[in-house]
Amino acid sequence: MCTVCGCGTGSVEPGKDTGQDAQSHSESHAHSHSHSHSHSHEHGHVHEHTHTHADGTTHAHAHAHAHAHPHEHTHDHDHPHSHEHEHLHDGDHVHHHHHDRLHGDDHVHAHSHDHVHAEDGTLDYGKGIGGTHVPGLSQDRIVRIERDILSKNDAYAAENRKRLSAAGVLALNLVSSPGSGKTTLLVRLIQDLAGTLPVAVIEGDQQTSNDAARIRATGVSAVQINTGKGCHLDAHMVGHALGELPLPQGGVLFIENVGNLVCPAAFDLGEAHKVVVLSVTEGEDKPLKYPDMFAASDLMLINKSDLLPHVEFDVAACVANALRVNPRLKTLVVSARTGEGLSAFRAWLEAGVGMARATAAAL
């Protein structure tokens, strides 16, 4: 997940109007060398600042401060070094490996494996308890980092959800791979909803405010979030954006996430539903390749249906694959160009808005 993929800080531009198998390892360490060296111990801390520039753009970033204490020491230790571990394979059998690597400084290093060898030769790094592989981090450490980050995100998401519920707002988290047509679909939908439902939009991209500008051209308020190196929106970013955006009381808030079918699946933004958009140009096996996103979503929009006569895409197979991952997933086939399926999507939205308004009235 995204805790280890290099996500950075974000900036907010205000609106202008599985069950998994653990591997078994046993280790025996020893190496022998004598050396003298000097090194420094560094101590640091990081704190985050949020500030607003004269043009109204809000930035959040972190500063790190560190200081070092250099010293020298000499030590001798003997350890011939060996490492042995087990691999669990898909064929219900375990492979036991023992690796010794001799280096020029007369000590031996071992390397560990945290992947499964499937019968077809696939190296599967998603079978450990952490669900991923990070060089230098154990599976237990990955799990601890993920739990820490997601627990903090979930607290922010709960605050966002409370705020949206009080306003009777239906919030939708639109997720997809890049180029699926989310923004074009959103522009067409906003035009069709004009005068019927209040609408506001939060746009997420690594860079530029191009999509927010397209939304604002329809007359709807929009806030752009740039995530920098980050590959998804998080609830903290969205909370800041909500402070810059007039909430569409009793209406719909569309949150267009960064184009990515992996990391956004894990991050609750405070939305009522995730809506995954899949273009017919992407292939009907996409739900099987990226199951976490389709499992986390409540509605799948198969987009660009006007291209179906020109591409090899099996709609029935795509729906079947999605239902294998998520049996409760609803599906609509839509096109921003022809308008196909958009009346059904509007009906789904209106039903959700009705529930949001009823919830707000009961508070």
Q: Provide mean pLDDT across the span 20-46.
A: 44
Model confidence at 254: pLDDT above 60: yes
For the whole prediction, is pTM greater than 0.85? no
Q: For the residues of 125-194, what is the DSSP string, one character each?
A: TT-STTSS--TT--HHHHHHHHHHHHHHHHHHHHHHHHHHHHTT-EEEEEEE-TTS-HHHHHHHHHHHHT
Tokens of 215: 């939304």
Question: Biggest alpha carbon distance in the chain?
Answer: 79
Model confidence at 196: pLDDT above 80: yes
Model confidence at 79: pLDDT above 50: no
Q: Provide mean pLDDT across the span 328-350.
A: 98
Residue recorded with tokens 């308890």: 129
For the chain, the residue count is 363
Residue recorded with tokens 């609408």: 199
Instruction: Name residues whose C-beta falls within 8 Å of residue 279's C-beta, 6 or more positions apart in sequence.
Output: 176, 177, 179, 180, 181, 302, 303, 304
CB atoms near residue 198 (< 10 Å): 19
What distances in angstroms separate CA 180 from CA 175, 201, 292, one per listed residue?
9, 18, 18
Reported confidence tier of residue 29, pLDDT bands at 50, 70, 90: very low
Reported confidence tier of residue 262, pLDDT bands at 50, 70, 90: very high
Q: Does domain 157-362 have CATH number 1.10.260.40?
A: no
Q: Are strands 252-256 and 33-52 parallel, antiparallel or unpaired?
A: unpaired
Beta strands (DSSP E) in the chain are 11-13, 25-28, 33-52, 58-77, 82-89, 93-99, 101-102, 108-109, 116-117, 123-124, 170-176, 199-205, 221-226, 252-256, 273-279, 299-303, 330-333
Long-range contacts from 238-241, C-beta under 8 angstroms, 24+ separation: 238/156, 238/160, 238/202, 238/269, 238/270, 239/156, 239/159, 239/160, 239/270, 240/12, 240/50, 240/58, 240/60, 241/12, 241/202
Q: Provide mean pLDDT across the span 113-134.
A: 77
Model confidence at 55: pLDDT above 80: no
Q: What's the pLDDT at 10?
A: 64
Q: Are 216 and 203 in contact (CB under 8 A)?
A: no
35 or 322, higher pLDDT: 322
Q: How far apart are CA 318 and CA 283, in angstroms?
A: 8
Tokens of 20: 């998994």
Alpha helices in 44-102 (DSSP H): none
| Least confident window among 9-18, 95-104, 133-142, 212-221 | 95-104
